[in-house]
Structure 1
Amino acid sequence: MKKIGILFGMENTFPWAFIDRVNTLCKGKGIIAEAVKIDKIEQAVASEYAVIIDRISQDVPLYRSYLKNAALCGTAVINNPFWWSADEKFFNNCLAVKLGVPVPKTVLLPSKERPDDTSEQSFRNLVMPLDWQYMFKQIGFPAYMKPHSGGGWKSVYQVESPEDLWQKHNETGQLVMMLQEEIIFTDYYRCYCIGGKYVKIMPYEPRNPHHLRYATQPKTEGKEHEELMKVIHEYVLKLNHALGYDFNTVEFAVRDGIPYAIDFCNPAPDADINSVGAENFEWVVEHAAKFAIEKAEEQIPGEDNCTWGTFISQSANKKSVSAAPVKKAAAKKVVAKKAPAKTTKKTQK
């Protein structure tokens, strides 16, 4: 019997619907789903779950460490806790640029307050004052200032001028902020991506009250709309394949027919029926359950069953290939020691 667990906090509608759906789909298949139960966490000891869907560890460091241990011992954790711990929104934007996905112009700002246990000397590599004029010219005003890591529309500011930025930046404490170009959009979409293959494109209006943000319709029609949907679908898959997220949302603001990726670091995206609506809720429950079952069927106990994005996996493969000649050269040197009359030099690129 394989177990699929879901680890969650205050949310109620999605976790229980997910559990019920998996158990309905898996009758007689030797797979069951339940809320994760933790009574102890011991190093290098496997959990009882083949798959865990993580909905809360971004807020609970204890859970993040538990999930890393579980993943190390063979659990397929959705999303990969090692990558999730390393990722943040500014890097996402950098990667999108390299992938050819349009994003707003963005720069990174130092925190207003120094991190704990640092002094002025800790920042001697920063040139003061920073090149504010270049940044302001590059981004323009109005602009948006938001944390480089985190989500949930927390600490997001619209800034109208440099003076407005300074005033609002005073409120941000130790947060590292991004200053981002404002995209005046005609359409906006929020897209679920599950398993790197299941995509749900949803019209979305971020300016509406939270419970009405999905109660909107696209402005484009006909062939123009069809082409836009194809491009957005392509960008959603491209971003999630590179990042390696099994469960994520990507938001796009459409300006002059071009979809700009606004936010795509949402590894525990909102899936509450009261905000996403019944139709979208049904889709995410069904496809999350379907993908979790697929992962449970593929899971091999004791092995690495987490998803690694192409950004990591391709880099690792390149490093493995480039390391091979070094090992070969080292072996030749060992052989050379047996023949004192000949000498070799070991070089490193």
Structure 2
Amino acid sequence: MKKIGILFGRERSFPMALIERINGRGIENVSAEPVRIDKVVQGEKTRYAVIVDRISQDVPFYRSYLKNAALTGTAVINNPFWWSADEKFFNNCLMTRIGIPVPKSVILPSYELPYETTHDSFSNLTYPLDWHSIFNYVGFPAYLKPVAGGNWQDVHRLKDADDFYSKHTKTGQLVMMLQEAIEYQEYYRCYCIGNKYVHIMPFEPHNKPGEQYSVDYTPSIERTKQIEEIVLQLNTHLGYDFNSVELAVRNGVPYAIDFYNPAANTSYESIGEANFEWVVENLTNYIIERALSHKEGEMNLTWGKFIQESMRSLEMENLVSRT
């Protein structure tokens, strides 16, 4: 039996719809259920061929459970090792290497000292930072946003340097990113599943919940092709099985704004019936594919092109050093 587990927290509409859709297919020896955990013992397998992770970003205990599950052969969607290593600033850095336009961005140390540190812990940090160069590079208006986070929490729009200094004091121990504001003509949110299914949704992030998908434009054929290529290239390098990508189009150029969303918002109330149906149907297809291709006792994770190419380079270096 290829058992599929959905690991989730407070959300209900999406995980339960996945379970119902998978079981409704009636595929022999494939079934889905909410993940059940009564103990976690090192090196012991779970009962699941596939686990879809919707909550470990908020529950470290679950992240450790998933790493053990992946180590013992479960296909975890998304890869918990890469998810633990990834963050928004690195995402932007990687995009500059593969040629995808992103807003100008810099990373900033937290305004308050992290717990169990003192000023002596930052002997290598020049302070004050070179704010003049930083502001000249990023420009204003700009956004101040956490390196790790989502749902527009702790995000501040800044009009000038004085605005930055005022709002940075409110960020506590969060590591923040100062990012150029892209004044866009079009904005899109896209689901990407399995690096082959892409769904493009016109989106206005500044509208109130329930109205963000109500916009008065649709992408042209050329724009659709352009966005699909960017979304697929981006996720191929990151290696996420399921992710959402936000793109802002300024003067005909799509900029990748937010693409660290391995637990993408899929609430029926937020995204609407048509988008909800698309994501449930296509993620169901992909989950079943992963279950049927699961190989017992082997590593069944997805790894992105960035990691794959890094490993090939390391293997080549080791080969050369031995010859």
Query: CA–CA distance in 2 between the matches of 1:229 and 1:217?
Result: 16
- Once the two structures are TM-superposed, the CA of residue 326 in structure 1 deviates from its matched residue by 2.7
Contact kept? 1:185, 1:254, Cα under 8 Å: yes
Counterpart code for 2:92:
N
- Once the two structures are TM-superposed, the CA of residue 325 in structure 1 deviates from its matched residue by 3.1
In structure 1, what is the equivalent of residue 22 of structure 2? Answer: 22
- Once the two structures are TM-superposed, the CA of residue 52 in structure 1 deviates from its matched residue by 0.2
1:6 aligns with 2:6: yes
Number of equivalences:
323
Identity of aligned residues (%): 56
In structure 1, what is the equivalent of residue 30 of structure 2? Answer: 31
Counterpart code for 2:267:
D
In structure 2, what is the equivalent of residue 307 of structure 1? Answer: 302
Q: Between Structure 1 and Structure 2, whose CA radius of gyration is higher?
A: 1
Contact kept? 1:186, 1:219, Cα under 8 Å: no
| Secondary structure, aligned partner of 1:141 | coil
Query: Taking structure 1 as the reference length, what is the TM-score of the superposition?
Result: 0.91
Query: CA–CA distance in 1 between the matches of 2:199 and 2:152?
Result: 21
- Once the two structures are TM-superposed, the CA of residue 302 in structure 1 deviates from its matched residue by 1.3
Counterpart code for 1:138:
Y
Root mean square deviation, CA, Å: 1.0
- Once the two structures are TM-superposed, the CA of residue 160 in structure 1 deviates from its matched residue by 1.3
- Once the two structures are TM-superposed, the CA of residue 46 in structure 1 deviates from its matched residue by 0.3
- Once the two structures are TM-superposed, the CA of residue 219 in structure 1 deviates from its matched residue by 5.9
Structure 1: 5+ residue runs without aligned partners? 329-349
In structure 2, what is the equivalent of residue 269 of structure 1? Answer: 264
After superposition, the C-alpha distances for 1:77-103 in whole angstroms (9 at most, x for unaligned) are 000000000000000001111111111
Structure 2: 5+ residue runs without aligned partners? none
Question: What is the correspondence of 1:1-349 to structure 2 with a 5 Å cutoff?
Answer: 1-25=1-25, 27-218=26-217, 225-328=220-323
- Once the two structures are TM-superposed, the CA of residue 232 in structure 1 deviates from its matched residue by 0.7
Query: CA–CA distance in 2 between the matches of 1:28 and 1:84?
Result: 30
- Once the two structures are TM-superposed, the CA of residue 258 in structure 1 deviates from its matched residue by 0.7
Query: CA–CA distance in 1 between the matches of 2:202 and 2:260?
Result: 19
Query: CA–CA distance in 2 between the matches of 1:62 and 1:177?
Result: 25
Counterpart code for 2:294:
Q
| Secondary structure, aligned partner of 1:253 | strand
Query: CA–CA distance in 2 between the matches of 1:28 and 1:88?
Result: 37
Contact kept? 1:46, 1:74, Cα under 8 Å: yes
- Once the two structures are TM-superposed, the CA of residue 28 in structure 1 deviates from its matched residue by 4.2
| Secondary structure, aligned partner of 1:210 | coil
Query: Taking structure 2 as the reference length, what is the TM-score of the superposition?
Result: 0.98
